[in-house]
Chains A and B, each alone.
Chain A
Amino acid sequence: MDTEYILELEGVTKEFPGVKALDNIHLKVRKGTVHALMGENGAGKSTLMKIIFGIYTPDRGVIRFKGNPIKLHGSKDAIRLGISMIHQELSPVPHMTVAENIFLGRESTKGFGWINRKKMDQEAGEWLQSLNINIDPRTKMIDLSIANMQMVEIATAVSHHADLLIMDEPTSAITDKEVERLFAIIDSLKKKGVTIIYISHKMDEIFKISDDITVFRDGQCIGTKAAADLTQDTLIQMMVGREIKQVFHKEPADIGEVALSVRNLTRNGKFRDVSFEVRKGEILGIAGLMGSGRTEIIESIFGIVPADAGEIYIKGRKVTIKSPQDAIRYKMGLLTEDRKITGAFLPLSVKDNMIISSIDDFTVKGYIKGKLANDMCRAFVERLNIKTPSLNQTMLNLSGGNQQKVLLGRWLMNNPDILILDEPTRGIDVGAKAEIHKLMSRLAQTGKAIIMISSELPEVLGMSDRILVMHEGVPKGELEREKASQERLMELAYS
């Protein structure tokens, strides 16, 4: 059976506890084309790709591949049918050769399990050659650049006789020149009749190579259009959609003197020449795509990974910050992006999680004054409306929103002048989100300087007095609250 479409999705739906990741998706991919998927982080692209590659199974809906409905149980099934995926993060076996990686799990043998190395090297060489990739199949993976590893993965996919190749942000970690090479290979794949689904945030790339573009937003498929029919502006329009009216509890605060200022901060390979300042009472939003250097900047300001160059001034005085201890000494606090990995002590109690950074305030000669600590914690539990049966409850048993509030409490106990919040409301429920927003507003009113990173445009627009937009490690501009709009932000972030 022959059809025009290699892949057709009908009503595909996937729910995770609490979120509808994909809602009734209809999507058709034409054979032999490059089909781009666009959308904000969390719009559902990655989930959809995982479904097509067999990692997730959809709750509802039909997937047709080459006209036939398919049901995948794991990525092995997908590969067998001719669907391959180049992941954003490559995972080669570093100490094996290119050939061994290509044929991992299906090595040619001479019998008795003896590996026929010569034959493998030769075949691997042929596959690489067919794509004009110039890599010796006997090289160890670990000695290759990221771009070359990617090439090897593409060759691997091709060697599996893939008809459909999914590429998830393949250019996020390679140089411009290597991007050119990648595009040449994509071209030659297209000529061989391979269909490519291409996920990227980079508009220029997308317009350069794709035939069709599908936009996702909030788990929904907004529409598919031929690339030729779109302009950058119309594409952004599709991505942003209608203004979602959401109330943010931002109240005006008196903006005072400069609390923190950063001059030409640079960390090699992550961001460069970042300068900004934040004043008392002000909320500075930092926007940008994942990987645009947002988190890395605040990592450097907080001393987790010191910057390579540039200066940091606190209240006009130049400071050197080499470790979080230094940052805390300068009265900074940091609510990190990933609560579970870099914030919470899950096996410890709510109380211990709260007091850990300000422990000296409760400690006399190393000995913790239990009552003082309890009173303090209780006050914060009340003030932040943290829902926990007791202060001794294990952190692990709290909901995400409450964990986040406990961590916020940790830094508030330290009474910082500058509070840095990295994705403060990610993954927490609407109620807790509103409470945190209200709290941020109140804190600003008491004269604290707040830096907030967020991937959610409405949040950034709703909460910030000023917004710094980052793109690939470089600040693209600052927007005042009054002048900021989703379209303007997107333009800068995707430029």
Chain B
Amino acid sequence: MSINPNESVAVSPSIPHHRKITFSHLMNKYGMLFVLIAMVILMSFLSDAFLATQNLINIVRQISFVGIIAMGVTMVIITTGIDLSSGSVVALVSVVAASLAHPGEYPLIIPIAAGLCIGICTGFINGFITAKGKIPAFIATLGMMTAARGLALLYSGGRPIGNLNESFLVLGKGTILGIPFPIVMFILIGIISHLLLSKTKFGKYTYAIGGNEQAAKIAGINVDRYRIMIYAYAGLLTAIAGMMLTARISSGQPSLGLMYELDAIAAAVIGGTSLNGGIGTIPGTIIGALIIGVLNNGLDLLGVSSYWQQILKGAIIAAAVLLDSRKNKRA
């Protein structure tokens, strides 16, 4: 939106009013979208199979789990925090939900409620320790990462938990109007998270806390409470992803979600979320997740060796962070 030119808004000479849309300005704002588009075009030339509908659906479905987690992680990073526990919480949710989802034992609501509850609780603990205990988020969530994985192994005795209820499996395998359920959830949660972050008080406070915590306090924001809520929301999304993933592989596994936290953080950072806080968007993170998805899928299609895949992924993340720091310097 722009200001009505008829209004008498004086413009100081230091700020160019008729800002020309320059290349670097566009790159700053939409750089990663261009990268995504360029990758899609490149891949479609390199592999005939890439643009097939089924393949595109696969890409989105494959990335939907990490993508959903990344949305919560984005919010956490905007507040200058970090969440290293996502992968382990996926595992804990997975084994607990699976253990309650055997056919003929409990109604579907029980495993789902238990899973969501674990997600929210672990997120709450992360937030509580960070906000009230004044412990760096890196350490608090590192602790949760270890503890949740340990709990998952303890709970499951180190074994996968199979034999799951058909109705539970719908979470991972079902479709709505022909669209796989995880993709529907990815879109739905994407919209909800985007609105939450851009249009609500909760969202504005999230940015404010990350932008300047001290100023946020003085502006009358209950910083601790909102911080805890943000981590709890991240935990909730992690739980949703964890249950859908469990349903998709028909098995609750204590080793599930290994390194997901890093993929989620990578998606957020590639999507322009600043580790210095105060900056980041959900559409950006979705683009970041899709870039990772297209990269993984494309390299698999081309049969590129796993070693090279890792190197390329690392290079892209480093480049994204570099772009981010350049952007900040310019501003």
Interface residues of A (CB under 8 A from B): 302, 304, 323-325, 327-328, 334, 336, 341-348, 352, 355-357, 359-360, 363, 366-368, 370, 374, 378, 381-382, 385, 387-394, 396-399, 402, 410
Contacts and interface: CB of A to CB of B under 8 A. Distances in A.
B278 A348 contact: yes
B306 interface: no
A345 B220 contact: no
A396 B331 contact: yes
Nearest to B10: A387
A368 B204 contact: yes
B278 A345 contact: yes
Nearest to B8: A382
A325 B19 contact: no
* Residue in B199, B201, B217, B222 with the greatest tally of chain A CB atoms within 10 Å: B201
Contact of B207 (A348, A391, A396): A348
Contacts of A327: 220
Interface of B: 1-3, 7-12, 14-17, 19, 195, 199-202, 204-205, 207-208, 210-212, 214-222, 274, 277-279, 331
A352 B204 contact: yes
Contact of B202 (A344, A360, A366, A398): A366
B14 A352 contact: no
B218 A345 contact: no
Contacts of A381: 3, 9
Given A346-B212, A356-B219, A387 B15 contact: yes
A393 B11 CA distance: 13
Contact of A397 (B2, B3, B202, B331): B331
5 closest A-B pairs by CB: A345-B211, A347-B278, A328-B220, A387-B12, A357-B219
B208 A324 contact: no
Contact of A363 (B7, B201, B219, B220): B201
B208 A345 contact: yes
Contacts of B3: 378, 381, 389-391
Contacts of A343: 212, 215, 218
B211 A347 contact: yes
B2 A367 contact: no
Interface of B is mostly: loop
A301 B34 CA distance: 51
A410 B12 CA distance: 21
15 contacts: A334-B218, A343-B215, A345-B212, A345-B216, A347-B278, A356-B216, A367-B195, A370-B199, A378-B3, A382-B8, A387-B12, A390-B1, A391-B3, A393-B15, A399-B12
A155 to B, nearest CB: 36
A363 B218 contact: no
B101 to A, nearest CB: 33
Contact of A366 (B9, B14, B201): B201
A390 B290 CA distance: 32
Contacts of A348: 207-208, 211, 278
Contacts of B10: 385, 387
B279 A347 contact: yes
B207 to A, nearest CB: 5
Given A345-B278, A347-B278, A397-B331, A363 B200 contact: yes
A341 B214 contact: yes
Contacts of B207: 345, 347-348, 352
B228 to A, nearest CB: 16
Contact of B217 (A324, A352, A374): A324
A383 to B, nearest CB: 11
A378 B11 contact: no
Nearest to B12: A387
Contacts of B201: 359-360, 363, 366, 368
Contacts of B14: 399
A290 to B, nearest CB: 19
A359 B216 CA distance: 13
A486 B219 CA distance: 34
A389 B218 contact: no
Nearest to B210: A347
Nearest to A363: B201
B9 A382 contact: yes
